Chain A
Amino acid sequence: MSEEEDDIILSELDDEELVQQMFDDLYDGLKEEIEEGVNILLERGWEPYRVLTEALVGGMTIVGKDFRDGILFVPEVLLAANAMKGGMAILKPLLAETGAPRVGKMVIGTVKGDIHDIGKNLVSMMMEGAGFEVVDLGINNPVESYLEALESEGPDILGMSALLTTTMPYMKVVIDTMVEQGIRDDYIVLVGGAPLNEEFGKAIGADAYCRDAAVAVETAKEFVGRKHNQGVTA
């Protein structure tokens, strides 16, 4: 920045400027500013769902795009997601009250033997940022815990993550078990993790491999949209 700028007073901005400023603040991971922005929009009579989609999801979409393009990296995205969570914490109870539409639901977890949860956490946060409901099973999940969660949560999507050569084959164990139990096609199965690639995802029977959290969100939206369309025509 070439010139010294004064601190921005959010409440003095009009709606459009404020949303643009929130995009910047999400990009910079400024949690308090995001919380303030959310509260101002609510005070101005915005529906909680509109605040979520236009300000937060809109801002996180930009973050996701630059993450996908190798402009932002994990530390920046964690900060942005943290700021978004601050805003979400205010909106969540209000969204529940107002019965806002649901984009979709995902159960996600890192497979057995793998403790890496950085990528998985990013996916969780970006999915929430995109309006999905996410049930995070954490790390080191045996096939049983995935199946239990599918049963009890009834999600649209199952997400699995693995970061090690030694743990990635376990994804196939989970998918094979789902096939055996005849429930494979009830869910969209997305896989991700550093050593994986598209071909691997196909070979083990997943619906798609997602290179990173941003791609996961795009893919999830696409598949859920397709699933809903099928529901209508069927």
Chain B
Amino acid sequence: MTNALARMIAAREWILADGATGTNLFNMGLESGEAPEMWNDWHPDRITKLYRMAVDAGSDLFLTNSFGGNAARLKLHGAQKRARELSRIAAELGREVADRTDRDIVVAGSVGPTGEIMAPMGALTHELAVEIFHEQAEGLKEGGADVCWLETISAPEEYKAAAEAFRLAGMPWCGTMSFDTAGRTMMGMTSSDMAHMVETLDHAPLAYGANCGVGASDLLRTVLGFVAQGSERPIVAKGNAGIPKYVDGHIHYDGTPELMAEYACLARDAGATIIGGCCGTMPEHLTKMRAALETRDRGPRPTLEQITQTLGAFSSAVDGTGDDSPQPSRRSRRRR
């Protein structure tokens, strides 16, 4: 077991991941519409500061500024040829921060979705998706990332393509999906579907789970859905700090640091090992989350009622995992 994250998972009961990237970069002057990845080249000092803020707030693991760093996404900014390079720099800056810290820190090379729909429904073939992810993974590897970190995925096909790419790059990885549509991913995948899919992969992730989505409550319901499948694989919980509001020209997420501390402990009680935030989660949230995880004892697995009492209501009545899902309005009369 040579990998830094695998060692950490073996040694620790919980691991604190980081919070938001986009929300924090806005505070440093990122303009809406700009590609955050260009800052790896233009403002490396700010990216170093972003990583440093997470580490100083107590994160054991942080994600690199490379979420949109695949060729499909960078094309928009005319930077598709720089996918490998921008990802490499993102990881190099991260490596430096981790190596200068006197405790173990895992550098997780963020890989976001391509933004395209995969075949047969859309135009992106499996082969091309693998190629796109592979290029980025090589860049992250060159830059010294400990693992690749796939996040905010909706389609199982895309998750599988990334798994293959990480195998080609020889990189251990983690991968989370975003459950933002009636408790499922946009493509209709449920938490239990994902738990099963992960076990079918040739190059399975070190940990899998959920990120972003609708709010902290929904995310924990998803975690309970994973756990119900009985898998031993470590689970990642990276939920948003509440929901976005527009205050004085800025996006502000309404979840307080205290609320995120509750969320962190509930996530651990629910069965998550790697716990962090997503959009809206700032250093002050992470500090409270760390303090709560360190000082409070682990409790019994929370019920759905306990989750909503503490964190607020779910965005949908069901999440597709039970028998009480709503039924289709038409029935298929043809043979497929």
Contact = CB atoms under 8 A, between A and B. Distances in A.
Interface of A: 1, 4-5, 7-8, 21, 23-25, 27-28, 30, 33, 62, 65-66, 69-76, 78-79, 111-119, 139-140, 142, 164-170, 172-173, 194-197, 199-200, 203-204, 212
Interface of B: 20, 22-23, 25-26, 30, 32-36, 72-73, 75-76, 115, 117, 121-122, 154, 178, 180-188, 243-247, 249-251, 279-280, 316, 318, 320, 325-336
Contacts of B280: 165
Contact of B330 (A8, A23, A172): A23
A66 B73 CA distance: 31
Contacts of B180: 194
30 contacts: A5-B333, A8-B334, A21-B333, A24-B330, A24-B331, A27-B328, A28-B332, A66-B326, A66-B329, A69-B326, A71-B326, A71-B328, A74-B187, A74-B188, A75-B121, A78-B121, A78-B122, A112-B32, A113-B33, A113-B76, A118-B117, A118-B186, A165-B22, A166-B33, A167-B32, A168-B251, A169-B32, A170-B32, A200-B245, A212-B181
Given A70-B184, A113-B76, A165-B23, A199 B334 contact: no
A203 B245 contact: yes
B124 to A, nearest CB: 12
Contacts of B187: 73-75
A10 to B, nearest CB: 11
Contacts of B186: 73-74, 118-119, 194
A70 B180 CA distance: 11
B112 to A, nearest CB: 9
Among B23, B33, B332, the one with the most A-chain Cβ atoms within 10 Å of its Cβ is: B33
Given A73-B188, A165-B244, A195-B244, A113 B35 contact: yes
A188 to B, nearest CB: 20
Contacts of A196: 244
Contacts of A4: 335
A230 to B, nearest CB: 28
Contact of B33 (A69, A111, A117): A111
A116 B154 CA distance: 12
A7 B182 CA distance: 34
Nearest to A194: B180
B25 A166 contact: yes
Contacts of A166: 22, 25-26, 30, 32-34, 36
A81 to B, nearest CB: 11
Of all A-B residue pairs in the complex, the 7 with the closest CB atoms, nearest first, are A70-B182, A73-B188, A113-B33, A203-B246, A112-B33, A27-B330, A169-B32
Contacts of A114: 33
A31 to B, nearest CB: 13
A21 B331 CA distance: 10
Nearest to B247: A203
Contacts of B320: 70
A25 B329 contact: no
Contacts of B23: 165
Contacts of A115: 72-73, 75-76, 115
Given A66-B329, A112-B32, A167-B33, 19 more contacts: A5-B335, A21-B333, A24-B333, A71-B327, A73-B188, A76-B188, A111-B33, A113-B34, A115-B115, A139-B76, A165-B22, A165-B23, A166-B36, A168-B32, A169-B250, A194-B186, A195-B244, A196-B244, A197-B244
